[in-house]
Amino acid sequence: MFLKLGYLSPESLKHLKMAGERRGVPLLEATLLEGILHPDARSFLLAESLGLAFEDIDPAAVPLAMSEFVPESTAREYRIAPLSREEDRLTLAVADPFLHPVFSVIGQGTGLSIRLVVCPPRTINRILDRLYPNLQAPASEELEGGLVDRGQAAEWLARGRARTLVEKTLSFAVGGGISSVRIFPAGNRVRVSGRAEGENALLFSMPIRYRGALLGGLAELAALPGIPAEGSESTFQLEGSDGVLSFQLLFLHGLSGPEAIVRHLPEFRPAATLDSVGLAPEQVEITCRLLGKKDGLYLLSTPGPEGAATTMFAMLREMVRPGARVVTVEERFRFRTERYIQLERRDLETRYGGRWAQLAGAVEPDALMVEFLRDSSDLIELVHLVREGVPVLCGVRGSGVGDVVRTLLSLPVDPFLLFRTVRLILHQRLVDLLCTECRRTVPAKPSLLPGGGKRGEMLEEIIRKTSFYMPAGCDRCDGKGYSGKIALAEALPFSHGVQSLLLAGLPVERTVEQLTEEHLYPAFQSVRELLGRGMVAYDDILPFFR
């Protein structure tokens, strides 16, 4: 067989037979002991011993679409190449068939069963270069090390190309106390330097032809579609075992072409805790207490898509333990995190037929986050997942807690089962913050009637004691009159009293009225504080008083 595959010459085979007779061992053992076997033959022997198929595949025969099934960083780090998909089975070419945890994660992420084929490492590398095309890796002498030595930079580059190299470099820089990183051209090289305590230091440098790849990897980390044609500024987050790192990314275009500056934002915590997303202290307390149960269904209602994922990621951090298998289904990725299995909505449709039960059966999550549930009837399927022990955080559209309650009451499901499953309804609305440089005082008190409703007494007190402001516009806020947003929320925890009221069989509107009057944790505290500080306009907070 080795002669047929070209792994041994006739002369080598003759030598091995003599060595085997001399040592008194079988020919196969002599082959290993003599150390003259072709490297690819070792893969063949491994496949034979495990009863796996061995194939030396033509890379050109592998469809380019297979790259969608395995992330490039995983494929290169573990030398795994996706070859084909037959119905619900994914075939992987591997050099090491003992990476069972890695194969399990790939199977869970794709929802497919895994078939392994042992393949020569050189062939796998050629397949990966076809599936994940990029510039040829620089020779060792082309890399210039600094604070990041040449070997470390080469290893990061080999594990995941430019994106992984940039990601690891930023994490390394933060760990070393470096406040900003700059990627820029210098002659015929692209330099990556760091700045700490007013001093610049080289991290590493590469030939100038790699500038586009480095900047492209940075744009990918920041979830940008590509390197901006003009200067742009954005923020993004990286999450690892040490928590969330936040960065500000600035793309510049000079005479020598594009470059980038990345600044670490140590105080910027956009989704780290519930209090940072705008919940009032009492709302944070009750939400954390319920999340601590690590079970149940949690519903987040918003009028639109803004801010929902940020709040749900904050809730996940309160709920799940380190190492838990968390699956998120997002409309689009806000930021990447190695701690969770992240799927986009289209993945649910293509891999699992849009069925939540099929997703859970394939991935077996310890917790599930759904950024937006498009069809309220899917709540029934999620309720059954919760009953099977999977806590679920789910986003829905609505104008208030009452809308969510009405939806729940309309579902064709046993009310007792439903309301014993739900733990909390949060309704969140983003409010524009007034620019403090140009806001103008409103000379007259606003009218109570448009937003008074049944909460008129509290609103009347606020109007009587508060000075109100309106937007104007200046250079600092680009003439908009506003300088950011903040979330205001109202919370309805499903206490025994709430469950009893929902099961009492009262008319729907009367049920909603009693719930909001007697059991709601309203946004009044936050509204009063923001109005008192002149941070929001009166018209923007009226929805919370209707």
Return d(Cα 31, Cα 20) in angstroms, integer. 8
Q: Which residue has the higher pLDDT, 160 or 447?
A: 447
The percent of residues above 70 in pLDDT, for the chain, comes to 83
Return d(Cα 339, Cα 324) in angstroms, integer. 8
Return d(Cα 378, Cα 122) in angstroms, integer. 47
Comparing 102-116, 254-268, 346-360, the range with the smallest average pLDDT is 254-268
Q: Which residue has the higher pLDDT, 66 or 241?
A: 66
Comparing 86-95, 203-212, 333-342, the range with the smallest average pLDDT is 333-342
Domains (ranges, CATH) in the chain? 38-131 (3.30.300.160), 140-264 (3.30.450.90), 275-430+485-529 (3.40.50.300)
441-460 pLDDT per residue, tens: 887 777 665 544 456 677 77
19-70 pLDDT per residue, tens: 667 766 665 555 555 555 555 666 777 677 677 888 888 888 888 778 878 8
Greatest Cα pair distance, the chain, in angstroms, is 107
Q: What is the pLDDT of residue 133?
A: 67
Residue among 371, 246, 376 nearest 316 (CA): 371
Assess whether pLDDT exceeds 80 at residue 118.
yes
326-343 pLDDT per residue, tens: 999 988 766 666 568 888
Average pLDDT, the chain: 82
Which whole number is the average pLDDT over 496-511? 90
Which whole number is the average pLDDT over 477-496? 88
Instruction: Band the pLDDT of 229: cuts 50, 70, 90.
Output: low
Instruction: Band the pLDDT of 193: cuts 50, 70, 90.
Output: very high
Return d(Cα 344, Cα 328) in angstroms, integer. 8
Q: What is the pLDDT of residue 40?
A: 60
Give the pTM.
0.56
Q: Which residues pair with 368 in a beta bridge?
A: 327, 392
